[in-house]
Amino acid sequence: MKDRVLIGELGGHVGEKVTICGWVEVRRDQGKMVFFDFRDRSGKVQGVVLPKHEEALEKAKEIRNEFVVQIEGSVNKRPEKNVNPDLQNGDIELEITDIKVLNVSETPPFDITSDTSGIDENVRLQYRYLDLRSERMQKNMRVRSEFVRRCREYLFGKDFVEIETPLLTESTPEGSRDFVVPSRLNPGKFYALPQSPQQYKQLLMTAGFERYFQIARAVRDEDLRADRGFEHTQVDLEMSFADMETVMQTVEEMITTTVEAMGYTIREKPFPRISYKEAVEKYGADKFDMRTEEEKTKGVLAYAWVVNFPFFEKTDDGKWTFTHNPFSMPITEHEEWLLKGENIENILTTQYDIVCNGYESGGGSIRTHRPDILEATYKIMGFSKEEMHERVGHMLDAFKYGTPPHGGIALGVERNIMNLTGESYLREVQAFPMTRGGQTAVMKAPKALEKKQLDELGIEIKKK
């Protein structure tokens, strides 16, 4: 809008007549005068309609909270006794001369002028667009945006290429249940939504990009928990001609550069490294919180690397399965064991997990770029030659054509933002998360399809 001044910049316009646009956060009607707090993306300011501005005063009486308004007024210094140094714009006040209502608003179903974390989750998510207006949610989303932006900038500075991989893809052996999408053109067949871009990013290494990244969605049909939703976002990257040290150093520098530029303090640099075995002995788990109580209140970030994970573990039916990633390399010293299928319980993988303040905030590994190693891994897991070709034949094929040695990592954006904002629930750092029951925010999915859609897909719903 013409000549609009942002509320956050009003301090530079003292003594001037300005126009602001935004929402009415609060209206306090004192009869002869009406006070307002206005809000836009840059902050809040107090305004007042004095008795002498009769027309504005009349309009002010009609206005309710959350109306969208365009205000004209003069920016005045507050008298000394009314200055509030703890408030943004606490030393100024807008003397309102004209009010234009751009849109009206019903009374919001819950108070959005304070922290909404105590409000019923279903109500918050039904009206998420109002919930997101609250100061804490605005901050969480902005911290998230800045974190991702700074990671991106760091990676561009290091010659990474941002490449998108498909959303409709093949069901992959990453370990969780897939979300599947029926194919209209191939009735009875299904795509899967990606649990991670793992295989495609490795194929981009075969393709010669050397350094790839993506702010990637990953979708997994897992039980919902405080730090886990069906969908999450990863800073996903992969590097060619890189060993563990190269990837770990790159990621450590990316995180350090990013969070320090955002004003956070890191407990220990370089990040301490601990083996899986030591972590379990010392903390009872492979994710842990090293902070003192004082560091917790100060929001210090305690990063650590966990390395030397076992490659395989036993399944309930006595077979071997991978602990983290079937595409990983074993550590060099254990390559022979893997190739021969010996000493399986002692084979260590090149996996490195990054832990911060009690959360596993990322993980990756050096990958196999050799068909014999991938075949040996699948053989240990009980796959016949035929079965492994069905599963990962395309990877075995790609590895025949000069795939460079490579490795990478994925950082969970939400878990990192939970640490930066001090939130304990993933949904506090996602714009439109699901309810605990798996219902989408605002919109009504999952829902039944119309018969016509089902017919087109060749799908019949079984009566329970």
Q: Which residues bind ligand ASP (CB under 6 A)?
A: 196, 198, 218, 325, 363-365, 408-410
User: Shortest approach of ligand ASP to residue 198 CB, angstroms?
Assistant: 4
The C-alpha torsion from 380 through 386 and 389 to 390, rounded to 10°, is -110
To ligand ASP, the closest distance from the beta carbon of 448 in angstroms equals: 32
We find the least distance from the C-beta atom of residue 446 to ligand ASP, in angstroms, to be 24
Pair of tokens at residue 293: 């109580």
Enter the DSSP assignment of 451: H
Structure tokens that stand for 447 in this block: 């829902």
Closer to ligand ASP by CB, 325 or 416: give it: 325
75/409 with CB nearer ligand ASP? 409
* Closer of 325 and 377 to ligand ASP (Cβ): 325
- Say if CB 431 and CB 128 are below 8 A apart: yes
CB of 78 to ligand ASP, least distance (A): 53
For ligand ASP, which is the closer residue by CB, 46 or 198? Answer: 198
Q: Please, which residues have CB within 8 angstroms of residue 423's CB and are 6 or more apart in sequence?
A: 140, 417, 429
Report d(CA 356, CA 415) in Å as an integer: 9
Least Cβ distance, residue 165 to ligand ASP (angstroms): 11
- Residues 6+ positions from 434 with CB-CB distance below 8 Å: 125, 224, 229, 230, 427, 440, 441
Q: Which residue is nearest to ligand ASP (CB)?
A: 196
* Contacts of residue 283, Cβ cutoff 8 Å, sequence gap at least 6: none
Residue whose CB is less far from ligand ASP, 335 or 360: 360
Q: How far is the CB of 418 from ligand ASP (least distance, A)?
A: 17
> Which of 127/212 has CB closer to ligand ASP?
212
Contact call for residues 348 and 309 (beta carbons, < 8 A): yes
Cβ pair 340, 375 in contact under 8 A: no
